[in-house]
Amino acid sequence: MAATVPDGGRVEIVLIYQSLLGIYGDRGNAAVLAKRLAWRGFDAVVTTVEPGDRLPDSGHVYLLGGGEDAAQITAVRELRADGALHRARDRGAVVFAVCAGYQIIGNSFTVGDRDEVIEGLGLLDVTTTRGPVRAVGEILTRWRGRGGDEAMITGFENHGGYTVVGPDAEPLADVEVGVGNCADGTEGAVHGTVLGTYPHGPVLVRNPALADHVLELALGRELAPLSRPEIAELRRQRLTAARRTSR
């Protein structure tokens, strides 16, 4: 369990390898976490790390985004050599990974025409292989264990890999529109403070309750709700668009 961060305390968000895992705009997840912390009076810092630099051991949240297969292979090798994500998990920091990042933190994923198996970081018990069709489009899921409108997670998925959740992890959500993990009706996975999910959007921008959940896990405390009409309106629009989509 991470030490609880006091009011006004410093919170470090580590944004990993934008040069490799930056093409889907998931860096917005770092921006929204920092903003939601700042609105509540915390001293939020975003540290951006590129391959060749060591990841800091001081982070509260470590963010991985989507990327192409070749970049994904480079990223997993660099991260394994670095070792900081395992230490982060062990001290209760949050690892929040999207799409390629989700596949990277799992047991393994496959790439290329010959479906070469690449070993993942093994932080989450999920395994990814190439699916029958590329999953592309709006995705709408229902977050497990949550009720009401805030349980609905919207985003945009774009992945060829399909992911099976093993016994040491739980699906994050159940799919209402789209593909998610592997057309078994589940989306994403969670174990402790490690979370993986497919939606871009960025997903924490579109889904503030999920953003606050990540922060509460990382800070080891509950946060007061924020009322931001502009975010509620964005969310309403995205939910309507996703519900209109039939794929």
Q: Which residues contact 4 (CB under 8 A, 6 or more apart)?
A: 219, 220, 221
Nearer Cβ to ligand GLN, position 42 or 156?
Answer: 156
Binding stretches for ligand GLN (CB under 6 A): 24, 66-69, 72, 99-100, 158-161
Q: Active site includes 200?
A: yes
Structure tokens at 228: 């931001």
Rounded CA-CA distance 67/109 in Å is 13
Shortest Å, Cβ 54 to ligand GLN? 24
Nearer Cβ to ligand GLN, position 69 or 82?
Answer: 69
- For 11, other C-beta atoms within 10 Å of its C-beta total 21
Nearer Cβ to ligand GLN, position 69 or 150?
Answer: 69
Shortest Å, Cβ 29 to ligand GLN? 13
Nearer Cβ to ligand GLN, position 69 or 184?
Answer: 69
Annotated active-site residue in 159, 191, 200, 213: 200
Q: Residue of minimal CB distance from ligand GLN?
A: 66
Shortest Å, Cβ 104 to ligand GLN? 9
Cα 157 from chain centroid (whole Å): 12
Question: 196 φ, ψ to 5°?
Answer: -130, 145
Nearer Cβ to ligand GLN, position 67 or 106?
Answer: 67
Shortest Å, Cβ 224 to ligand GLN? 33
> 144 among the known binding-site residues?
no
| Cα three-residue angle 105-110-114, rounded to 5 degrees | 165
Structure tokens at 222: 């509950």
Annotated active-site residue in 99, 182, 191, 213: 99
Asked whether the beta carbons of 198 and 180 are under 8 A apart, the reply is: yes
DSSP label of 192: T
- For 224, other C-beta atoms within 10 Å of its C-beta total 9
Rounded CA-CA distance 136/223 in Å is 34
Q: Active site includes 86?
A: no
Shortest Å, Cβ 225 to ligand GLN? 31
Rounded CA-CA distance 42/39 in Å is 8
State the binding site for substrate.
134
Residues serving a catalytic function are 99, 200
